Structure 1
Amino acid sequence: MTDVTTFNRLKDEKSAYLLQHQNNPVHWWSYGPEALLFAKEMNRPIFLSIGYSSCHWCHVMAHESFEDEQTAKFLNENFVCIKVDREEQPDLDNYYQAACQLFTNGGGWPLSAFLLPDMRPFFVGTYFPKTARQNETSFMDLLKELTRAYNEEHDKIIENATKVTETIAGGLTPKDKVEFQGHFPSPMAVLEAVKQFRDEENGGHGNPPKFPQFAFYEWALEQMLEGMITKEHGDHIVKTLENMLLGGLFDHARGGVHRYSTDEKWLVPHFEKMLYDQAGLLKMLSKLSLIYGSPLVYDAIFNTLEYLENEMLGENKIFFAAQDADSEGVEGLYFTYTKEEFEDVLNNNDDEGETFAKNRDKIFNWFQISEQGNFENGLNVISLSRAHLEEIYTQDGWDLVRKVRGAILNDRKERIPPATDNKGIASWNFMMVTALVDIMQYCRIEAIRNRASTLFNHVIEGVYKEFLVAKDGQGMKIRHTTTKETSLPYFEDYVFFSEAMLRVYEITGNPIFKDNFKDTLNFIAKEFKSGTHFKTRALATTDFELYPNQNFSFYDSSFKSAAATMIHIARRAAILFGDREIEDELLSISEEMTHEVLKNPLGSGEGLRALTYPKEAYRVIKVPREWAKEVNFINFIPYFMSRFVLDYIDNAENRFEICAMGQCELSGIGLEEFMKSLTPADEAQNNQ
């Protein structure tokens, strides 16, 4: 076998993904100026391979192609091969994902980008099999054809790369485009427009693979809570989210959600678990619990919090990035059971063996366990049957569900778990801080709020210590990942930190967080705003010659759009600080975002949250600082959706005020009067 130590340069990297490839016979470079200079000197095309450690298809392509001597030899002789962890360099990934959309009308990981030495793409795809399949070119055939074209049709390759680069710079138009006329539409108009994509039987929208689209459903739930959506649309939203939690997309034993469903029923997931998905799940469920407060929802929240604390929290008090889809080289093996294995779980449980024996057939029906299985090789993905919900939702039924889930979790202790990528990513941790605050504000179950609060108090210290780096005379800088001591200033890190600071201030009343929010917001406006867009990297960064500093998309991708989040929190900041300049500064960006969001509402949940309400609908609620610890106040604030901003003031009179921009509309003294003033008359009468 080829000695890779001389030519594979990944052994000194800290990224779990890059280290997975350190023994490949491919002569991998990590991304950087040395690799790019070598490509220019050799006049070779670049093969840029982007993935992440918990990606199943990244593992498959690595085993099939990157560990294969023949494939590696061809790559080494004809390309400069660069490996990138997309979690370390999200802007690089975003740029070539946009290129992939142009070439294939799709995207994902592993991303296989073929570039000119100056980094312009001339072809981009995702996974390619080692052996050709129906409608799929083999990786080796692709390499040979691209090498031939690069050498024999070089002018055409350059022309193609130039067109792609120019198209990306001009912005991409989404598929499933929706047209609106006039001003920003009502929530009902948006839902009517996307109704054509609805899956009436299973919930959700579109065809498999089906992604949870947490930001879109969080927006829809907020509109339900504001009374802006009809029962018919509301029922479909609740049905969608219930089916997600019943299906295999949700981990019934441990908690937490897998990345997406491979089928229309939310049954068989792609098994990796990403931190950002857990944040999106918790934010969405916090609002769902106000509408559909069932044990299914409350247990999903509580169990996910337990999962995060027990499996995703590091000693440095920050959350890990992800968990793999594979264990023992098999996708989903840790999470799935044959019928015989599931029977052993029930039979070998000392605490509940008698209960399980008495309810054996019921359990197998409820959890949809069969001899043939619902996955691969007779394996069953754990889920709950929709056909038996009337029984399952009784008190005795749900007690039995909890006991079976506990037995499965206990059995997993004897299994080999998937690998955990223990890197910390700033933006994802900040999103999780915001999610924990949402649980603390909106969930009405005290035990769940307390669990979230405990986790929050543990983590807030860690994120400050690990991600915020003091720079003399330049304020605080954010380190993107724990695997790199320094990194470029990334837009998403600063936006999600800013959002977290605002939400932490709203729940604690601590003015330090309010100051951090304002300072970070000002930094973003100064360092990232360019015309009608925000840039993925700070304007002052020096890597422009390597690849363009792309406009940050207003569309949600793997998680909600940081650009849309920025507009959302800026609107909240304007009313909080009474600053019309914030509104004026962002007006042109809001107009551009409106144009983009309305083309693809399903992919723009955070954009909808930012734009649904006009600025005149926002209110700041100013209350005495000590109310932040008052139980009655804490129990009352779930009424306030995101167009309301909580502010805390020091006053001896116990006075509160509710203000629009430039004028206060309601004021009074004392918490009792505050609650009475804001409680609808019919509800107040019912509570007497």
Structure 2
Amino acid sequence: MNQIVEKQANRLIYEKSPYLLQHAHNPVNWYPWSEEAFQKAEKEDKPIFLSIGYSTCHWCHVMERESFEDEEVAQALNDFFVSIKVDREERPDIDSIYMNVCQALTGRGGWPLTIIMTPDKKPFFAGTYFPKSSIRGRMGLLQVLERIEEGWDNNRERVIKSSNEIVQVIQDEENQRIDEISSKEMAEAVDKTAEMFSDYFDRKYGGFGTAPKFPTPHNLMFLLRYWKLREDDSALEIVEETLDKMYRGGVYDHIGYGFSRYSTYDKWLVPHFEKMLYDNALLAITYLEAFQARGEEEYAEIAEEILTYVIRDMTSEQGGFYSAEDADSEGIEGKFYLWTPQEVKDVLGEELGTEFCEYYDIATKGNFEGKSIPNLIGNNERKAKLEERFGEAKQKLFEARAKRVHPYKDDKILTSWNALMIVAMARAAKSLNKDIYLEQAEKAIDFIWNNLRNEDGRLLARYRDGDAAYLAYVDDYAFLVWALIELYESSFNAKYLKMALELNDDLIRYFWDDKQGGLYLYGSDGEELITRPKEVYDGAIPSGNSVATFNFLRLARLLNDNDLQEKADSQIKAFWNQIKEDNIYYSYFMSSLLFVLAEGREVIIVGNREANDTKEIRDALRDNFTPFTTTLLKDERNSELLSEIAPFIENYQQIDDKVTAYICQNYTCQSPTTDLDEIRERLM
């Protein structure tokens, strides 16, 4: 039996990636990214056909059905190319380099990413999705392959010259470090960013720009911090309007919770139905921050629903979080999530079913391909009232929907995305005062620490089916340091702060550019590719460099560490010429600038963390949106370890055996106090 499977399958059958395994039985003779593939291409004098995608990518599935499962396409690829498949979520280094090539050559990018290159990895052709044959002005894959074959055979010199020029261009895109940046320049940059977001804001439907419309929660995080620093209510209004409209749209799963990847409509009605772990992590964080900023319970409830979805559907038994759920089921996009009025009434009965359909826009004609996506667009009734009326009904519909064929779940566990969800869980534990979220965050950290490091302690990027692989990238380190800082400020367990510092040291050791500053995408001990990029663009998720900059600033302030402050300054100088222009594409980095500009506040609490008076201070911190505040807690249980990390903490003692707060702001420290009312007032 094994012999039959191996004969029918290509080399991807031995991989762990769900995306690669989806292609393991294609007639294309796929190779994973490997020396074997490149040696074969060099020996046989063939170009490389590189295809990059991910398991829940709708158009990746379409291209597979149309082309990679097709015998005619497979023969062309097998005869004249060496074909390589890459999972972009496992190898973001490869994806980043060749996506930059595609954007430079074509002016756009996306997945599936199609690259054709020489055996020494130098690209000379790039594109995204291609149909099998040319249609409606779009060149077909067969025609592309035919032209490439002709050029490779008859005009090789021109092809090689082109590939060398492309590589030279991307290697020359090194950031030029500048010597100094004034506070005034930083202030002008963040003000310009806020103005640009105001200009791009969709005042009718919320969000930014037109369809397709992405959540990009870190844009909203920036605006919340801008509102806090500048007391600019218009920034807060943009955040609130966007969060409300996204939740009420079809991009939110009102039956089973969680957000889909993006909306194909301006008004958030029709999503691209895949659900990504990172989107839901960042959105949960943003709704929690809005809850702290406004005290609006509805935001907390939405955040909890997101986390309910993740704990229920996206968490492994060991505690790690899965990557994504597909848009398709039974080969049809969105089928799992759609309803007809009759289907609703079959579950809820005629009267309640009719009422539910009226509220959630489920009509006979449908709002998507003859069926309906439940949504609350145009319905402004409070969430609490809707839950009171339809909470049980939604549970019944959820149970009925659970009997359908589910979308495919990508069950690989990525360090970087898990770290973002750990941030969300830790923030929920802190802002909602619920231990369940702290327990989930701690379990996930334990899973990563025990399963996603090699014998030398080097962090790894991906875990699946008992196998951990790929040296971790800058995002893995930066996001996990962020997660550990949040876990510390949620639990005040000093071991998390120590772990954060250890990882931060490794981040600098493996990724830091000693000449120009900034962090490379992959480590000095990683595979050498045609270039070693430094990413700062905050796309679907914040960049590793943006998050690392914020981490350096927070750790420097927490621990009075001048070296980390210098690292943060160096980051800003390294990327300044890039980020100061198209500001809105670097919104998380701009949040770091807000942290620099704010009159930061350091709080040191000395007292038993379980004592009632200490808990009251922690409650005061929890109940307010304090993005520019750092907090250390010294008590008997963590005093020794905290002193090891931050020796200066020895100078801070309790007064009269009472919980004592030391609060400093803008380089000035107030006298320590044991008066709880005074402490609360100072923390507002």
Query: Is TM > 0.5 for Structure 1 vs Structure 2?
Result: yes
How many angstroms does 1:165 deviate by? 1.9
Q: Counterpart of 2:94 in structure 1: which amino acid?
A: L
Q: Counterpart of 2:422 in structure 1: which amino acid?
A: V
Q: What corresponds to 2:410 in structure 1?
A: 421
Q: What corresponds to 1:685 in structure 2?
A: none
Q: Counterpart of 1:122 in structure 2: which amino acid?
A: F
Report matched runs for 1:289-328 at 5 Å: 289-294=291-296, 296-328=298-330
Q: Any conservation in 2 of the 1:274–1:323 contact (CA below 8 Å)?
A: yes
Asked if 1:525 corresponds to 2:508, the answer is yes
Asked if 1:33 corresponds to 2:35, the answer is yes
Q: Counterpart of 2:673 in structure 1: which amino acid?
A: G
Q: What corresponds to 1:260 in structure 2?
A: 262
How many angstroms does 1:296 deviate by? 4.3
Q: 1:675 to 1:257 in 2, by over 3 A?
A: same
Q: What corresponds to 1:565 in structure 2?
A: 547
Q: 1:129 to 1:295 in 2, by over 3 A?
A: farther
Deviations 1:507-528 (A, max 9, x none): 1121211111122222212221
Q: What corresponds to 1:595 in structure 2?
A: 577
How many angstroms does 1:536 deviate by? 1.2
Q: How many residues of Structure 1 are paired with residues of Structure 2 in the alignment?
A: 647
Deviations 1:15-50 (A, max 9, x none): 111111111000000111111111111221111111
SS at match of 1:614: helix
Pick which of 599-608 and 571-580 moved more: 599-608
Q: 1:585 to 1:31 in 2, by over 3 A?
A: same
Q: What corresponds to 2:459 in structure 1?
A: 478
Asked if 1:584 corresponds to 2:577, the answer is no
Report matched runs for 1:192-207 at 5 Å: 192-207=195-210
Report matched runs for 1:67-216 at 5 Å: 67-171=69-173, 182-185=185-188, 187-216=190-219
Q: What corresponds to 1:381 in structure 2?
A: 373
Q: Any conservation in 2 of the 1:53–1:324 contact (CA below 8 Å)?
A: yes
Q: Counterpart of 1:485 in structure 2: which amino acid?
A: A
Report matched runs for 1:426-575 at 5 Å: 426-443=415-432, 446=433, 449-471=434-456, 476-483=457-464, 484-530=467-513, 531-541=516-526, 543-544=527-528, 546-551=529-534, 553-575=535-557
Deviations 1:296-321 (A, max 9, x none): 43332122111111111111211111
SS at match of 1:539: coil
Give, in whole Å, the separation in 2 of the partners of 1:90 and 1:625.
45
| Equivalent of residue 57 in structure 1, options 37, 45, 59 | 59
Q: Any conservation in 1 of the 2:215–2:262 contact (CA below 8 Å)?
A: yes
Give, in whole Å, the separation in 1 of the partners of 2:261 and 2:110.
12
Q: Any conservation in 2 of the 1:213–1:603 contact (CA below 8 Å)?
A: no
Q: What corresponds to 2:638 in structure 1?
A: none
Q: 1:306 to 1:3 in 2, by over 3 A?
A: closer
Q: What corresponds to 1:612 in structure 2?
A: 594
Q: Counterpart of 1:329 in structure 2: which amino acid?
A: G
Give, in whole Å, the separation in 2 of the partners of 1:222 and 1:574.
19
Pick which of 292-301 and 103-112 moved more: 292-301
SS at match of 1:49: strand
Give, in whole Å, the separation in 1 of the partners of 2:383 and 2:524.
58
Give, in whole Å, the separation in 1 of the partners of 2:213 and 2:153.
41
Give, in whole Å, the separation in 1 of the partners of 2:186 and 2:475.
29
Q: Counterpart of 2:430 in structure 1: which amino acid?
A: Q
How many angstroms does 1:229 deviate by? 4.7
How many angstroms does 1:567 deviate by? 0.5
Asked if 1:368 corresponds to 2:361, the answer is yes
Q: Counterpart of 1:132 in structure 2: which amino acid?
A: S
How many angstroms does 1:534 deviate by? 0.9
Q: What corresponds to 2:180 in structure 1?
A: none
Q: Counterpart of 2:418 in structure 1: which amino acid?
A: N
Q: 1:14 to 1:57 in 2, by over 3 A?
A: same
| Equivalent of residue 664 in structure 2, options 630, 636, 659 | 659
How many angstroms does 1:599 deviate by? 2.4
Q: Any conservation in 2 of the 1:7–1:28 contact (CA below 8 Å)?
A: no
Q: Any conservation in 2 of the 1:556–1:604 contact (CA below 8 Å)?
A: yes
Give, in whole Å, the separation in 1 of the partners of 2:660 and 2:36.
63
Q: 1:380 to 1:656 in 2, by over 3 A?
A: same
How many angstroms does 1:661 deviate by? 7.9
How many angstroms does 1:580 deviate by? 1.8
Give, in whole Å, the separation in 1 of the partners of 2:375 and 2:390.
11
Q: Any conservation in 2 of the 1:254–1:304 contact (CA below 8 Å)?
A: no
Q: 1:122 to 1:212 in 2, by over 3 A?
A: same
Give, in whole Å, the separation in 1 of the partners of 2:226 and 2:103.
32
Q: Counterpart of 1:464 in structure 2: which amino acid?
A: W
Q: 1:248 to 1:403 in 2, by over 3 A?
A: same
Give, in whole Å, the separation in 2 of the partners of 1:254 and 1:38.
48
Q: What corresponds to 1:176 in structure 2?
A: none
Give, in whole Å, the separation in 2 of the partners of 1:540 and 1:615.
36
Q: Any conservation in 2 of the 1:274–1:322 contact (CA below 8 Å)?
A: yes
Q: Counterpart of 2:362 in structure 1: which amino acid?
A: I
SS at match of 1:534: coil
Give, in whole Å, the separation in 2 of the partners of 1:7 and 1:186.
54
Q: Any conservation in 2 of the 1:253–1:409 contact (CA below 8 Å)?
A: yes
How many angstroms does 1:201 deviate by? 1.0
Give, in whole Å, the separation in 1 of the partners of 2:261 and 2:607.
40
How many angstroms does 1:73 deviate by? 0.3
Give, in whole Å, the separation in 1 of the partners of 2:231 and 2:668.
30
Q: What corresponds to 1:669 in structure 2?
A: 674
Q: What corresponds to 1:400 in structure 2?
A: 389
Q: 1:666 to 1:151 in 2, by over 3 A?
A: farther
Give, in whole Å, the separation in 1 of the partners of 2:123 and 2:593.
34
Q: Any conservation in 2 of the 1:185–1:612 contact (CA below 8 Å)?
A: no
Give, in whole Å, the separation in 2 of the partners of 1:277 and 1:196.
24
Q: Which runs of 5+ in 1 are unaligned?
A: 174-179, 348-352, 680-688
Q: Any conservation in 2 of the 1:594–1:611 contact (CA below 8 Å)?
A: no
Deviations 1:361-390 (A, max 9, x none): x432321122222212x021121122x31x
Q: Which runs of 5+ in 2 are unaligned?
A: 176-182, 636-652
Percent of residue pairs bearing the same amino acid type: 28
CA RMSD of aligned residues (A): 2.5
How many angstroms does 1:114 deviate by? 1.0
| Equivalent of residue 632 in structure 1, options 597, 607, 616 | 616
Q: Counterpart of 1:482 in structure 2: which amino acid?
A: Y
SS at match of 1:612: helix
Report matched runs for 1:215-230 at 5 Å: 215-224=218-227, 226=228, 228-230=230-232
How many angstroms does 1:602 deviate by? 2.6
Give, in whole Å, the separation in 1 of the partners of 2:667 and 2:200.
42
